[in-house]
Structure 1
């Protein structure tokens, strides 16, 4: 990747796993934001995510550590740590070490997924992960959709791409014709970048026989910071999607994509039927076409924008600046010789 002038340690919510990947009493190793971490689920079902190393003598809790009730136990000397990272028991001492603490991360579990809040300064969450199934302005909920994981998901680890590339895709109306082969460019009907959670709506059609003036379908997108984007499709196949891009280190990110297909009336099956699987695969195929571009993209600053593109990209890049550490904020597009105004 041509390294962009953007920090790979933005503030916000980021997906680190799907819920089903971490069972009761299990410990899950991972690396995000250039930091070794563990996620573990207590026997009462709650997930904790913390730095991976025991504060005693530095053993990695993901290599031999185990869960005992609501605690994770170090494999080296049996020190026990709670979900807040506090030492609560040393098996060969009368008292725990109250002065040492493993850094933990706020966790949100919804959308069949596990998210952590990342802030290099340790700040608390100030916006929420969108609920992709019941968070839109309609009467739909989780019971109206087939489960996504594992049959309707995509995981692409260690890609050389930046989370902002994915967010910029939402305002890039022109790419739909060339990447997704739609018959005409979408009409962006809403840009709202006034809050940490932003909104982008547009009309779109995939039917070659339809005229632009007759389009009666579209997408509503909710972007929670730079790490999570939820979409609702309307007027076409009933589906919801969740895109999550989580930096691994200064050069790569993991990409997760989940698709929910609306249930057939009366079908309460816990499995994704063949017809719904076919539809989900088609949605994933479209997303994969985007990944092929992002994984080899260079950050263009300032970009050579047309008049029609200028407003959306300018608003999004200004909005994105709030999530970066102060010393490495994202640039804002500016007019240049290559920008059509």
Structure 2
């Protein structure tokens, strides 16, 4: 079997990828981003809409996310103040009344939903062929705001997605007891039903039940019920240099005791960080086996790989 590392994987899969939590991008704010081997800029116009464009000015290459200024629904280059609208067009050069026809930036499809900023990636620039779900009542008083964090990892997103169906790793790596473990693959969704005891190795005795759904290759939403009802987001977006950004967050359904809820959310994030770092030690040092040598008690790893491979295939033609 050939030994493969993360840098051997083929490119990036198509899909929706999370590049920020909404609270990281205030009105008038900008974010300098690097994903899919590209420099990008995210900004929120004065109309409240998040937009993502190619990150370098076509004029002399200044990074728009490093000192660029938001004016209305446009972003102004910090170098010579060329101004670009959200559709990528240069609409103003303050020292010239003639704008070159090629003065434009590439644009990226964006959906902001559930307090998350998603960008669509396709290697050929094709339009999205599946949607980002709407979480019922998220953003209302029925849920506390996301408590979130981010870590950078030297691996491919394929390894992280595969991890969720690997039932045999939960106890030795995380000390988690899993009593129920069912996986379904439905189009662009990979759904897991799971139940057990959370963190028994640390003395935890709380039972949980969850439904965790990947919506494409880039992010997973988990509805978890146990001590409290919570939502978990796990999102991994490829940078392009053999690394990815892993974002994760938790939203708690209020119990009526705000201080307890906030303490639980903080502890949850700490536990998630610990859990992911346990995985990171494996991910950053493992070889990728294709084909793997599996036993009958392993999870549906080959089904997961087949599901994941669809995001490297041409997108289906849109229905008329």
Residue matched to 2:304 = 316
Give the direction of change, closer, same or farther, for the CA distance of 1:280–1:93 in structure 2 (3 Å limit). closer
Residue matched to 1:191 = 184
Residue matched to 1:220 = 211
Give the direction of change, closer, same or farther, for the CA distance of 1:10–1:250 in structure 2 (3 Å limit). farther
State the Cα distance separating 1:276 from its structure 2 match. 3.8
State the Cα distance separating 1:46 from its structure 2 match. 1.0
Residue matched to 1:281 = 270
- Do 2:250 and 2:265's aligned partners in 1 also have CA atoms closer than 8 Å? no
User: What TM-score results when the alignment is normalised by the length of structure 2?
Assistant: 0.85
Higher normalized strand content (fraction of residues):
2
Residue matched to 1:90 = 93
Match of 2:144 among 143, 146, 160: 146
CA RMSD of aligned residues (A): 2.7
* Counterpart-to-counterpart distance in 1, 2:140 and 2:284: 32
CA displacement 1:106-164 (0-9 Å, x = unmatched)? 11222322121111100111112334x42xxxx8874322222xxx322112x111111
Residue matched to 1:251 = 242
Residue matched to 1:304 = 293
Give the direction of change, closer, same or farther, for the CA distance of 1:199–1:65 in structure 2 (3 Å limit). same
3-state DSSP class of the match of 2:149? Answer: strand
- Do 1:161 and 1:295's aligned partners in 2 also have CA atoms closer than 8 Å? yes
CA displacement 1:91-117 (0-9 Å, x = unmatched)? 234454444421111112223221211
* Counterpart-to-counterpart distance in 1, 2:77 and 2:265: 44
* Counterpart-to-counterpart distance in 2, 1:2 and 1:231: 29
Match of 1:47 among 30, 45, 50: 50
Unaligned 5+ segments in structure 1 are 209-214, 327-341
* Counterpart-to-counterpart distance in 1, 2:149 and 2:138: 24
Give yes or no for the alignment of 1:201 onto 2:190.
Answer: no
* Counterpart-to-counterpart distance in 1, 2:122 and 2:84: 22
* Counterpart-to-counterpart distance in 2, 1:39 and 1:277: 28
* Counterpart-to-counterpart distance in 2, 1:61 and 1:279: 36
Give the direction of change, closer, same or farther, for the CA distance of 1:20–1:84 in structure 2 (3 Å limit). same
CA displacement 1:167-209 (0-9 Å, x = unmatched)? 11221111111122134x44323412x311221222222386x
Residue matched to 2:251 = 260
* Counterpart-to-counterpart distance in 1, 2:126 and 2:303: 25
Match of 1:176 among 166, 170, 173: 170
Give yes or no for the alignment of 1:130 onto 2:119.
Answer: no
- Do 1:86 and 1:98's aligned partners in 2 also have CA atoms closer than 8 Å? no
Give yes or no for the alignment of 1:69 onto 2:72.
Answer: yes
